[in-house]
Chains A and B, each alone.
Chain A
Amino acid sequence: MAIDEKHLEAEIQDINKIVSIILATGMYTTMFFYIFGLILVFARGTPIPRLSQQYFHSFGDFFAALFSLHARAFLYLGTITLILTPVSRVIISIFAFRREKDYKYVGVTTIVFLIILVSVIVGSVFKISVG
């Protein structure tokens, strides 16, 4: 038997709330890193690179740039946060649906997450074949 209407309504409310919190957190974190990074760009007069490049050679390099307040480190962090926000929305939804005991949607959301994982692998493979 399918979940009754009242339960469905309550579940929709819960999931909506969780999704909204994740998106808000991701958005404000990204904005913080970007605005801080851009302030550093203006304060230090960093020129805009015309070509995309390898920003960091290692984790150590990245943390060194972060602690010496280089703009690129903060702009990079903002971009990572931005890309990971929808991905984390998918991951957390899996657990939210499980808490609601809505196993059909646990399945649906898990499939979406697996496809994202496969895309990452495909991306790396293409990079190797192109490079």
Chain B
Amino acid sequence: MLTEFIFLFLVAIFAGFFGALVGIGGGVIIVPALTLLFHLPIHMAIAASIVSVIATSIAGARSYVDQQITNVRLGMFLEISTTGGALIGALIGVLMHGYVLSLIFGALIFYMAIMSYRSRNKEEKMIDSGAYDAMQLDGVAKKLQLEGTYHDVALGRDVKYNATKPIAGSLVASLAGVGSGLLGIGGGVIKVAAMNTMMSIPMKASVATSKFMIGVTAATSAVVYFIAGGINVFVVAPVALGTMLGATGGSIVMNKLHSKVIKMIFFLLMIYLGYEMIAKGLSMGYNINLPGLM
């Protein structure tokens, strides 16, 4: 029994650390770990995952807010979309077949992986040339003053930026909410991509702000699981403790890394996720079984 707790705890530390580095909640690591390694039913795994996603978000978010990398205003603005998406996600989930959604998500994640890979060297060039600062705030971004500055430790300088395309960005961010409502994840991958590739927010500010938003998105889904009685507190406790520790460590390391490294980790993770989602969709909808990666 003791070994089970320690095992859960260690897996959770890994998920929390990794999640904080790339701005995700770590649910995509916890759900497969709990079902494949710990043999828990998928619903219990998802419920435990969504609660521990809140834990990683709190630990990571706090560290980034203290380091002043988070753009709280941008986060609040996009939370309208992510919580709204979580609400719509729960509704669509009832009406639409799961495999269709898995395939759509898989395709979206692959697209974002490619976008992230293509821009992997662009990030520091854009910071150097002042391109993020030179962006013009447009439309709603101007009204809501979605601009910001953070200190980049790896580059040893302050980075200023202005948000662009706020409406397009929030539409994409709402998909992250849909994912949370449907699949029990934080949707950080999609939030980061929405900010970094669509809204011209530097990678590190995107990661920090994504972390900040995940807690609220995940709490919305967690309340539902909690009301429905799907949460096993004996599993949640060691997992949440572990992810909190891991996320605190990860968020300290993140600002010291070069964004090229973060982007590569992000790219590999999305390729893996995109594959798993498409494999799941094909197996559910058409009985085609692709070989598993894990």
Using CB atoms and an 8 Å cutoff, list the residues of chain A in contact with chain B.
Answer: 2-3, 8, 12, 15-16, 19-20, 23-24, 26-27, 30-31, 34-35, 37-38, 41-42, 45-55, 71-72, 75-76, 78-80, 82-87, 89-90, 93, 104-105, 108-109, 111-112, 115-116, 118-120, 122-124, 126-127, 130
Contacts and interface: CB of A to CB of B under 8 A. Distances in A.
Contact of B216 (A30, A89, A104): A89
B224 A16 contact: no
Given A75-B233, A104-B143, A108-B144, A48 B1 contact: yes
Contacts of B236: 75, 79
Most chain B C-beta atoms within 10 Å of own C-beta, residue among A48, A111, A112: A112
Interface string B171-203: 000000000000000000000000000000000
Given A52-B44, A126-B224, A27 B59 contact: yes
29 contacts: A2-B145, A8-B145, A27-B58, A30-B240, A37-B233, A38-B238, A45-B1, A48-B4, A53-B229, A55-B233, A75-B236, A75-B237, A79-B233, A82-B55, A83-B51, A83-B222, A86-B57, A86-B215, A93-B76, A112-B80, A116-B223, A119-B86, A119-B220, A119-B221, A120-B227, A122-B224, A123-B223, A124-B227, A127-B227
Interface of B is mostly: helix
Nearest to B91: A122
Contact of A82 (B94, B232, B240): B240
Contacts of B233: 37, 55, 72, 75-76, 78-79
A116 B237 CA distance: 24
B111 interface: no
A12 B72 contact: yes
A86 B58 contact: yes
B232 A15 contact: no
Given A2-B143, A12-B72, A119-B221, 6 more contacts: A19-B62, A27-B55, A86-B58, A108-B77, A112-B83, A115-B84
Contacts of A84: 219
B218 interface: yes
A24 B62 contact: yes
Nearest to A84: B219
A70 B73 CA distance: 42
B232 A49 contact: yes
Interface of B: 1-2, 4-5, 40-41, 44, 47, 51, 54-55, 57-59, 61-62, 65-66, 68, 70, 72-73, 76-77, 79-80, 83-84, 86-87, 90-91, 94, 143-145, 212, 215-216, 218-224, 226-238, 240-241, 244
B58 A85 contact: yes
A104 B79 CA distance: 14
Contacts of B77: 108
Contacts of B223: 83, 87, 116, 119-120, 123
Most chain B C-beta atoms within 10 Å of own C-beta, residue among A35, A76, A86: A86
A37 B237 contact: yes
A111 B54 contact: no
A115 B68 CA distance: 27
Contacts of A85: 54, 58, 215, 219
A34 B227 contact: no
A87 B244 contact: no
B227 A86 contact: no
